[in-house]
């Protein structure tokens, strides 16, 4: 292709740029590039190239065990910071662990077990310096809800416990597999709006479930929806215990007051962090001294001493419960991954370092696999605990090791002290933690910015609160996917006009001063063209042409002669899209008009060339910019008939 120029004398602009065909690229090479960008965008093997075998082994170990990379550079100054942070988060992890285990209908001691082994595994394999590992309320609620539909914890506690271990095992297998197979992008299908609505709904449901502890009820519904909970609460008004209610309100007020104070004075973050453990100590002393357990205040009871017993032999791999365990594991595993990775990335951004999402999946998955074999249930990196870790000044993952050692000391020597801990205090701790997950400010922001995202958020919230956690999650994901499908199936098309005194063309709705060009209709297609939207685009382009001709006819302006399609936003096109362009050309030809293309990308040009479409339209009618296309149309419009053949054009105009 040469560089011959032509001049549009009326505009005084010289055009010499042409749309080039991309160099031929083998299909295997193109496929390899696509797969690399999908699964290996960070090129993890890059560091292994041109390295001796011994160095490759060291790098491989450091890749899967990041502790081997930073541990040799660890200093006493870092240890002092991590020691303070670790002790601080341990004071939060102990009461939260016990509380969340009760939320999952599991023995309270499992909450402490789950705060001992998994943090040690993550400290060796995780890439986040700030993530504090432990149990989370939403995952605990999901486990209690999904397993409770199959087996009642009160009727068959042993089987229920074994299913919880099995679900954790499959969650870990699924999480680690996503990391090894580089499928981390799957988690991205949970949009920000989905997570905001889902977390708020789950937090609301968790708070409602705590009415059992606050009111001191012995029997409570296993359902999580609002209607069932309210029916259960108000059908037992004669069993409400005022002692429990007063105690619960007092401790809840104390916890919320400390959180408010710490939020207003960030330097005193430790007050809020120590409040749950302080509540447990005060509540236990109050019950012990007043013998409140004899007057309707329920307590935890006996917690056995000792660290985690092995539980691999307790995993259930037989029907009919295997399907339930797998389903529970996958759903809770995805939620735990989404929360853990999102929290890790958030704090990494504050400290300007990078965490590898796939390595995080492998680390979180491995710690859950190991945890399921050591009497732990599902763990991840909860926001509240990680925020305390961050504010306490942690420097590395050693803070998790310190926390785990503190929990170990508690398991070995201090568990009898929790005998008199009132359940109402645990309920207050859970409610105070969950209120922070109801992010109404984020929902208001979604409403102001994007109404569809707000609909996704509300759909998730309503589904969780009035249906179940699983229903809410399905609704949120379904609405999110529907939005993606609508975007693909119904892409936007715009009429472009010329901004005065420029060669710039923009959407006439966005820029009211943009002027239509006489005899020329310029349309922009704002998405790739695939089978899902090709029919719609053909019909929409036809309607644009009809509407433009009707407008010109009614206003008495010159008739339409050219239709220019701006392909700048069309990143790709399939065979259905090419067939659509062929039908559009036939339609335009029948109307006595001329089709012109502007700014097609390399992938589009390659496929148009292979399909012989360029020969049909004529490469001289494909331009680099809309401005050049309009200039050429105006040049021809004032000199030649629009449908004159290529041979009738002057040599200086022919671009190829």
Beta strands in 96-168 (DSSP E): none
**Residue 252's pLDDT band (boundaries 50, 70, 90)?**
very high
**Residue 12's pLDDT band (boundaries 50, 70, 90)?**
very low
Q: How far apart are CA 545 and CA 549, in angstroms?
A: 6
The proportion of the chain whose per-residue pLDDT surpasses 70, expressed as a percent, equals 88
Average pLDDT over residues 469-477: 78
pLDDT for res 352? 80
Least confident of 83-87, 132-136, 451-455, 645-649: 645-649
* 120 token code pair: 């040690």
pLDDT for res 295? 73
The residues, any chain, with a CB within 8 Å of residue 590's CB and separated by 6 or more, are none
Question: Residue 397: is the preceding peptide bond cis (ω within 30°)?
Answer: no
Average pLDDT over residues 373-390: 89
Indicate the pTM of the whole model. 0.74
pLDDT at 511 over 50: yes
**Residue 444's pLDDT band (boundaries 50, 70, 90)?**
very high
User: Nearest-CA neighbor of 378 among 182, 133, 188?
Assistant: 133
Average pLDDT over residues 251-276: 87
User: Nearest-CA neighbor of 422 among 240, 296, 305, 259?
Assistant: 296
Of 474 and 162, the structure prediction assigns the larger pLDDT to 162
| Residue 523, φ and ψ in degrees, nearest 5 | -120, 140
pLDDT at 435 over 90: no
**Residue 486's pLDDT band (boundaries 50, 70, 90)?**
confident
**Residue 107's pLDDT band (boundaries 50, 70, 90)?**
very high
**Residue 47's pLDDT band (boundaries 50, 70, 90)?**
low
Whether residue 116 contacts residue 404, with contact meaning beta carbons closer than 8 Å, is answered with: yes
Average pLDDT over residues 30-35: 63
pLDDT for res 489? 87
Average pLDDT over residues 223-252: 86
pLDDT at 265 over 60: yes
Q: How far apart are CA 265 and CA 91, in angstroms?
A: 20
User: Nearest-CA neighbor of 456 among 192, 145, 656?
Assistant: 192
What is the number of alpha carbons within 13 Å of residue 630 lying toward its C-beta?
24
pLDDT for res 5? 41
Residue 317 carries which DSSP code? -
Average pLDDT over residues 239-261: 89
Whether residue 423 contacts residue 299, with contact meaning beta carbons closer than 8 Å, is answered with: yes
**Residue 35's pLDDT band (boundaries 50, 70, 90)?**
low
pLDDT at 555 over 50: yes
pLDDT for res 114? 95
Q: How far apart are CA 23 and CA 26, in angstroms?
A: 10
Q: How far apart are CA 483 and CA 488, in angstroms?
A: 9
Of 12-26, 183-197, 410-424, 573-587, which has the strongest mean pLDDT? 573-587
| Residue 6, φ and ψ in degrees, nearest 5 | -135, 155
Average pLDDT over residues 135-140: 88
pLDDT at 82 over 70: yes
Q: How far apart are CA 476 and CA 472, in angstroms?
A: 6
Please give the C-alpha separations between residue 72 and each of 66, 131, 396, in angstroms, as whole numbers. Answer: 11, 21, 13
Angle between helices 117-125 and 357-372 (to 10 degrees): 150
pLDDT for res 124? 93
**Residue 29's pLDDT band (boundaries 50, 70, 90)?**
low
Q: How far apart are CA 90 and CA 410, in angstroms?
A: 10
Whether residue 495 contacts residue 560, with contact meaning beta carbons closer than 8 Å, is answered with: no
**Residue 20's pLDDT band (boundaries 50, 70, 90)?**
low
Average pLDDT over residues 51-67: 81
pLDDT for res 17? 63
Which position has the token pair 């509380």? Answer: 99
pLDDT for res 27? 63
pLDDT for res 118? 95
**Residue 188's pLDDT band (boundaries 50, 70, 90)?**
low
pLDDT for res 647? 40
**Residue 46's pLDDT band (boundaries 50, 70, 90)?**
low
pLDDT for res 596? 93
Cα dihedral 178, 180, 183, 187 sign:
positive
pLDDT tens figures, 561-619:
999 999 998 989 999 999 999 999 999 999 999 999 999 988 899 899 889 998 888 88
**Residue 471's pLDDT band (boundaries 50, 70, 90)?**
confident
The residues, any chain, with a CB within 8 Å of residue 21's CB and separated by 6 or more, are 605, 606, 609
Rg of the chain over all Cα atoms, to the nearest angstrom: 32
Average pLDDT over residues 299-315: 89
């Amino acid at each position: 292709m040469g560089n011959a120029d032509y001049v549009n004398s009326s505009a005084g602009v010289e055009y010499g740029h042409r749309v080039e065909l991309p160099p031929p690229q083998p299909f295997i090479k193109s496929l390899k590039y696509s797969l690399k960008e999908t699964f290996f965008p960070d090129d993890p093997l890059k560091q292994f190239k041109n390295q001796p075998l011994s160095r490759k082994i060291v790098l491989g170990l450091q890749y899967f065990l990041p502790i081997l990379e930073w541990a040799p550079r660890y200093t006493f100054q870092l240890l002092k910071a991590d020691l303070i942070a670790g002790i601080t988060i341990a004071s939060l992890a102990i009461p939260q662990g016990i509380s969340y285990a009760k939320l999952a209908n599991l023995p309270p001691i499992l909450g402490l077990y789950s705060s001992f082994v998994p943090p040690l595994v993550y400290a060796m394999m995780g890439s986040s310096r700030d993530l504090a590992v432990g149990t989370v309320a939403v995952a605990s609620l999901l486990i209690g809800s999904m397993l409770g539909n199959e087996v009642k914890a009160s009727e068959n506690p042993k089987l229920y416990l074994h299913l919880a271990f099995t679900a954790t095992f499959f969650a870990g297998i699924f999480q680690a597999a996503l990391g090894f197979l580089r499928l981390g992008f799957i988690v991205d299908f949970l949009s920000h709006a989905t997570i905001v609505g889902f977390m708020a709904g789950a937090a609301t449901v968790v708070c409602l479930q705590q009415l059992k502890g606050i009111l001191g009820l012995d029997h409570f519904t296993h359902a999580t929806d609002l209607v069932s909970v309210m029916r259960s609460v108000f059908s037992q008004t004669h069993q409400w215990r005022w002692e429990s209610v007063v105690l619960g309100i007092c401790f809840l007020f104390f916890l919320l007051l400390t959180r408010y104070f710490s939020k207003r004075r960030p330097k005193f973050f430790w007050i809020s962090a120590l409040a749950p453990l302080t509540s447990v100590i005060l509540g236990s002393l109050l019950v012990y001294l007043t013998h409140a357990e004899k007057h309707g205040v329920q307590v935890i009871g006996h917690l056995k001493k000792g660290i985690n017993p092995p539980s691999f032999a307790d995993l259930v791999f037989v029907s009919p419960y295997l399907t339930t365990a797998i389903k529970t594991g996958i759903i809770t595993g995805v939620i735990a991954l989404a929360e853990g990775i999102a929290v890790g990335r958030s704090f990494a951004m504050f400290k300007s370092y990078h965490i590898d999402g796939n390595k995080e999946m492998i680390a979180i998955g491995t710690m859950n696999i190991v945890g399921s074999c050591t009497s732990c249930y599902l763990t991840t990196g909860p926001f509240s605990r990680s925020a305390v870790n961050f504010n306490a000044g942690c420097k590395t993952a050693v803070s998790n090791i310190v926390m785990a050692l503190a929990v170990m000391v508690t398991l070995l020597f201090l568990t009898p002290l929790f005998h008199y801990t009132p359940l109402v205090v645990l309920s207050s701790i859970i409610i105070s933690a969950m209120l922070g997950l109801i992010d109404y400010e984020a929902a208001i922001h979604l409403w102001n910015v994007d109404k569809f995202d707000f609909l996704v958020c509300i759909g998730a919230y309503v589904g969780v609160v009035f249906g179940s956690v699983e229903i809410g999650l399905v609704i949120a994901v379904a609405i999110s996917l529907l939005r993606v499908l609508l975007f693909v199936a119904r892409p936007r098309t715009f009429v472009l006009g010329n901004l005065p005194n420029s060669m710039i063309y923009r959407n006439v709705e966005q820029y009211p001063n943009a002027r239509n060009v006489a005899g020329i209709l310029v349309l922009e297609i704002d998405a790739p063209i695939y089978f899902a939207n090709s029919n719609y685009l053909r019909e929409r382009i036809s309607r644009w042409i009809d509407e433009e001709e009707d407008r010109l006819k009614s206003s008495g302006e010159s008739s339409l002669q050219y239709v220019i399609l701006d392909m700048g936003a069309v990143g790709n096109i399939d065979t259905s899209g090419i067939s659509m362009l062929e039908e559009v050309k036939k339609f335009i030809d029948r109307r006595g008009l001329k089709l012109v293309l502007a700014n097609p990308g390399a992938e589009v040009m390659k496929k148009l060339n292979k399909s012989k479409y360029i020969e049909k339209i004529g490469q001289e009618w494909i331009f680099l910019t809309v401005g050049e296309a309009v200039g050429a149309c105006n040049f021809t419009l004032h000199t030649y008939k629009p449908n004159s053949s290529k041979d009738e054009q002057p040599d200086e105009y022919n671009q190829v």
